[in-house]
Chains A and B, each alone.
Chain A
Amino acid sequence: MAVGARRLVVGAHYGLRDWLMQRATAVVLAGYLLLLALQIALARPIDYDAWSGIFASLGMKIATLIAFVALAYHGWIGMRDIWMDYVRPTAVRVLLQLGTILWLAACLAWAVHILWMV
């Protein structure tokens, strides 16, 4: 689709969705940080029992898992933007993007494992 005389707009139109999701996940993460800070403030002084107690409830597990999913999505968009800005050769960029997805997916799986250990 041509916009104006020079600008050719093409693509799958995932740009706007990702732009919006980057902001939505940012709000989720900011909210989670406040929730966690509140939980820590309420559980003080922090020893092992107090700390693990925070993550023992199902509600906090779910909130933390949602935060990790938001983190993975947010991190993906941010890293993808960085690769798109600085890495020109397509093959290298696609490899880096694939590596980023695997990196974040592995971290997400690990986070689930840790959360349900408590």
Chain B
Amino acid sequence: MSARRVIRNISIPDLVRYRLPVPGMLSILHRVSGALMVVALPFVLWLFELSLRSESSWAQLRRGAAGWLVRIVLVVLAWALVHHALAGLRHLLLDLDLGVDRAQARRSAWIVFAISLPLALWAALIIFGVL
């Protein structure tokens, strides 16, 4: 019987040297962005409530959201939503056996980044009032 190849998990210090392929990068960011949105859900609901309660709370929101901290959080959440949605769509297609081979999976991962990052940048420009 031939020797079994040893497969082990990498440990934490290995992470800095570990070259994660693009689909792996997409996948871990899918997880990170999802967790971020769950954690930030009360913050989003708070903004949602301010936006709907009254004319004056809407105005208060427009003033309050002008703070740079709120804007930065909003930009991060906008990126999280776009990345999570597009990476999720890609995962759904993979579930349907579409684009499963390595070259296609790498290409679709690049496509997700090529769409999500400009969209996040666009959202950032709107949130910071440039557009």
Contact = CB atoms under 8 A, between A and B. Distances in A.
A60 B35 CA distance: 27
B10 interface: no
Contacts of B85: 30, 33
A66 B48 CA distance: 16
B100 interface: no
B27 interface: no
Contacts of A110: 42, 45, 49
Contact of B38 (A27, A33, A78): A78
B99 interface: no
Interface string A14-52: 000000000100110010010000000000000110011
A114 interface: yes
Mostly, the A contact residues are helix
Contacts of A33: 85
A78 B34 contact: yes
B128 interface: no
A111 B45 contact: yes
Interface of A: 23, 26-27, 30, 33, 47-48, 51-52, 55, 75, 78-79, 82, 100, 103-104, 106-107, 110-111, 114, 117-118
Given A78-B35, A78-B38, A118-B52, 6 more contacts: A23-B92, A48-B54, A55-B52, A78-B34, A82-B31, A111-B45
5 contacts: A33-B85, A51-B58, A106-B42, A114-B52, A118-B52
